Chain A
Amino acid sequence: MIPLRRYWPVAASVVAVIVLQVALSLTGATYYMTQVAMSAYYGLVVIGLCLLMGYAGQVSLGHAGFFAIGGYTVAYMTTVNLLAYRDVPLMRLLQSLHLVVRWQNLYGADVLSFSPWPAFITALLLAGLIALLIGVPVIRLKGHYLAMATLGFGLIIYRVVLGTKGLGQADGISNVPPFHLLPWLQVNGRPPFRIQNYYIAWATVLLAMVLAINLVHSRVGRALRSIHQNEEAAHSLGVNTYRYKLAIFVLSALFAAVGGAMMTHYNGSIGPSEATVMKSIRYVAIVAIGGMANLWGAMIMAILLNFLSLRGVFGTFDDAVFGAILIAIMLLAPQGLLRMPKWHAVASVWRKGTFYFFARKLPDAAEGSEKSRMSPFSRGGSHG
């Protein structure tokens, strides 16, 4: 019996995506597709983070760092000019294997650089490796220690991309060539390819959703949830908590790196603004408002909020909006807005809001079992 019931939202999404595209094309508003596609790539980060935060219960305030690693790696590798080395035997070999190609950039200059596929694979490998390196020492920390460590990691990545000449410093890297997934299918943000790329972006996101949904419904998904809800008990039931937390951390980093790589090819550039702490916090805010352990909520909110932000709806209050979202959700609706049917959500928020103003005490829905003031390490022992 094939488990299929979990996929009906995917089918519904496919229909919605197609309907939206047709509607936009018919009304001549195809330029919206650009922002939708970008929001979709940001959504990839959110999906990975949702798995990490909502299901496994680990916090990460540095995920923009992985997005940046993915983006900068593909940007660098596809734009670095190796023309000077073209006669070196290794270069000839790479060229014959089509891993390195010769092309002409915007200024008409001859460039010899890596082709997008090897760059993409490298980006993933690099992101995974760095996630592993960071994760091994850091994943056994808990609560604010883990939060701070991931924050520190994000800051280091930001400093690195901002300060390194080869990565363009404050200007970032531009002139990134399109990514030919297949000879007739390329990731390219320019107008002629808009519709094609709209579908590529959505396909990537929905594929990620399918993988995530599968994971959550599987034995591993149950183990992850058990770690979040009571780590000591999970450990005593044979779940290797350390390895699982590390694995999900690396997986979420990979999701973010894919988002970064695709976005970079789509936009043709990447800059240090993609690695800031505010970006990382944005991802956290979106996971929170979507409902910590709610994959679909996270995805919908990612598309929605990023789209609005990209269209400039929030104006100069962009960052403030996400900050306010974080607070509001954590205070009033920690399960996220999309857990309950709409009217139920409104009623609940209203109820909690009035409680809040008149009784100064909020009913506290049981969540993860940690309280403040705990040992920096994961539950290593109980005494007596």
Chain B
Amino acid sequence: MNFPLIVQYGLSGITVGSIYAIVAVGFNIIYSTTGIINFAQGEFLIIGAMTAISLYQILPLWLAIALAVIMTTILGGLMEVVFIRPVRNASVLRLIVITIGLSILIREAMLHIWDEQVHSLPYFTGTSISTVTILGAHISPQVLWVLGTSAVIVAGLTIFFRFTPTGRAMRACADDPMAACLCGINDRWMVTLSFMLSAGIGALAGCVISPVTQTQYDMGAPLAIKGFTVAILGGLGNSMAAVAAGLLLGLLEAFVVSQFASVYKEAVAIVVLLLILVFRPTGLFVRREIGALRAA
């Protein structure tokens, strides 16, 4: 394999990987504030993309995307208020089952509102055949959009959580809901906010990746599984590690595709998932004991 080819596969891996990372970050945001794994996370990406695709027929691209993100954000909040809030103190089993049911409902709704065809947003800049040359490899400019958007999302979230009062309030809630409540933070709204945030970044990610991977109503579930794998790899609740883990998984998939048949690409994430669950469920970047302590 020559260098440009390596760069090509590498960039392709990082591209998809950054999307997995965003899905994982979405998982982590909700998990840290509520302890729930939101199985419907992947659907946010698809809803965002599908909505934008429909809106694009009557609005300019940027507006369509912006509106789609806003609408998905609101949907995420509604979802939490209607389905999660009343049963927040239920057992893990019950909550898991509810989010699974939600992901199915959303998917079926998408099937009936749109259809089972493959759609996509247009390339943000250029067309499907325009290329940019980096280090000898020819890649689509959309790749740069994806990487750029992901970086902006991660940076934005970091700033939000570290420097804004709302972000700090959410972290407080994640750490200790009771103490946060005592400080006057409304932890119920923090939970809603976390869902809205996850939905919003998911929608944005879905839109930016749509020209590259296309969008179909049932793509949410595989994305959720890969996102979950990445979240576990980095250690649940640890968003920085999730980013690294996402890139790792993306690169791993690209490597497998380059060396073996592309049909095994789907299997990579599942195998990684099972391996990590069996050997190191607290994540690669967390020392076992600390992970167990933190999660207890």
A152 on interface, CB distance cutoff 8 Å: yes
Give the docked Cα–Cα distance between A143 and B112 (Å): 32
**Separation of A57 and B93 alpha carbons in the complex (Å):** 9
Q: Are A364 and B87 in contact (CB under 8 A)?
A: yes
A362's partner among B35, B86, B282 (CB-CB below 8 A) is: B86
**Could you tell me the distance between the alpha carbons of A232 and B97 in the complex, rounded to whole angstroms?**
24
Partner of A331, one of B87, B104, B273, B296: B87
B266 engages A151 (CB within 8 Å): no
Give the most central of A142, A152, A368: most B CB within 10 Å.
A152
Q: Is the CB of B94 within 8 A of A320?
A: no
Contact of A145 among B267, B277, B292 (CB under 8 A): B277
Which residues of the partner chain A approach B281 to less than 8 Å between Cβ atoms? 141, 145, 376-377
Least distance between B254 CB and chain A CB atoms (Å): 19
Given contacts A145-B281, A316-B112, A323-B105, contact A277 B221 (CB under 8 A): yes
Residues of B within 8 A of A376 (CB): 277, 281-282, 292, 295
Q: How many residues of B contact A (CB 8 A)?
A: 50
Which of A153-161, A260-268, A294-302 forms contacts with chain B?
Answer: A153-161
Check if B273 sits within 8 Å of A148, measured CB to CB: yes
Complex interface: chain B residues within 8 A of A137 (CB):
277-278
Cα A369 to Cα B91 in complex, Å, equals 7
Whether the Cβ atoms of B277 and A372 lie closer than 8 Å is: no
In the assembled complex, A375 has its CB within 8 A of some CB on chain B = yes
A326 — which chain B residues lie within 8 A by C-beta? 97-98, 100-101, 104
A163 contacts the other chain (CB 8 A) = yes
How would residues 289 to 312 of chain A score, 1 for a CB under 8 Å from any chain B CB and 0 otherwise? 000000000000000000000000
At the interface, yes or no: A367 with Cβ under 8 Å from chain B? yes
Is there an interface contact between B92 and A148, defined as CB atoms closer than 8 Å? no
* Cβ–Cβ contact B277 & A322, under 8 A: no
- Does the CB pair A372–B95 fall under 8 Å? yes
**B90 is an interface residue with CB less than 8 A from chain A:** yes
- Chain A positions 41-73 with a Cβ under 8 Å from a chain B Cβ: 53, 57, 59, 61
Q: Which residues in window 51-104 of B have CB below 8 A to A?
A: 83, 85-87, 89-98, 100-104
- Which residue on B lies nearest to A154, using beta carbons? B270
Q: Does A286 make an interface contact (CB < 8 A)?
A: no
A271 CB-CB contact with B under 8 Å: no
Q: Is the CB of A317 within 8 A of B270?
A: no
Interface-central residue, A156, A317, A320, A367, by most chain B CB under 10 Å: A320
User: In the complex the two chains form, is A377's CB within 8 Å of B292's CB?
Assistant: yes
Q: Is the CB of A371 within 8 A of B91?
A: yes
Contact across chains for A360 and B91 when beta carbons are under 8 A apart: no
**A window 149-185: CB within 8 A of B:** 149, 151-153, 155-156, 159, 163
A327 touches B105 (CB 8 A): yes
Docked Cα-Cα span, A87 to B90, in Å, equals: 63
Contacts of B94 in A (CB 8 A): 330, 334, 367
**Residue B37, interface by CB 8 Å:** yes
> Cβ of B270 and Cβ of A364 under 8 Å apart?
no
Q: Tell me if A138 and B278 are in contact (CB < 8 A).
A: yes
CB distance from B90 to the nearest CB of A (A): 6
